[in-house]
Amino acid sequence: MIRLGAGPLERIVAVGAHCDDIAIGAGGTLLTLCHARPGIRVDALVLSGGGTDREQEERAALAAFCPGADLRLTVLKLPDGRMPVHWDEAKAAVEELRGQTDPDLILAPRTDDAHQDHRGLAKLIPTAFRDHLVLGYEIVKWDGDLGRPAAYQPLSPEIAEQKVRLLQEHYPSQRHRPWYDREAFLGLARIRGIECHARYAEAFAVTKLTLNLGG
């Protein structure tokens, strides 16, 4: 299996439509990156949940998922489930984020995610970040929208377990949901691990990738 690295990583961006999206979709990748690169800058943007208990959950959670990182988190107050009618506000937030950083990697929702908020944010990212590697994370849900990912980040068993523990610890508001449990998170990670010859993994969609094979 050929492994193409993204080169030196000093700055990354992580975006989510809702509090917990980033942690569910890419929490293991964040843990892996931050353990490997102490001091890495992480600019995170979440469109909804600002000013509520969900924002406090998110701040504590992302601090735990980004140990040792220079984390800069913004949580906005767009209404959950209504991103398409708040397109201008969301676009302005993404463009403001672009003005603050020039990342080496972006973690964002997939453009074919069934949830309109996730999908809308995913489609906004390339309008502001035009020359960046964007990895579209996946979130398991009742819609059954999981596809065939193109990129994988293997997770050690320790990182996979840490991700599940942190999800349970930092998002008590979500524990009542029938899909929010250890089996769901580790089960998907195990399947993605099988697909890339690892024990566990997180998987991502890639819509555009520029190679530098001669460098």
Residue 213: the pLDDT is 79
Q: How many CB atoms lie within 10 A of CB 70?
A: 13
pLDDT in tens, 3-33: 555 567 899 999 999 999 999 999 999 999 9
Q: What is the DSSP letter of 39?
A: T
pLDDT (0 to 100) of residue 82:
82
Segment 115-136, tens digit of pLDDT: 999 999 999 999 999 989 999 9
Q: How far apart are CA 173 and CA 200, in angstroms?
A: 26
Q: How many residues belong to the chain?
A: 215
- Residue 173: CB atoms within 10 A of its CB come to 16
pTM: 0.95
Residue 149 host element (H or E): none
Distance between CA atoms of residues 160 and 137, nearest Å: 16
Residues in the chain predicted with pLDDT less than 70, given as ranges, are 1-7, 215
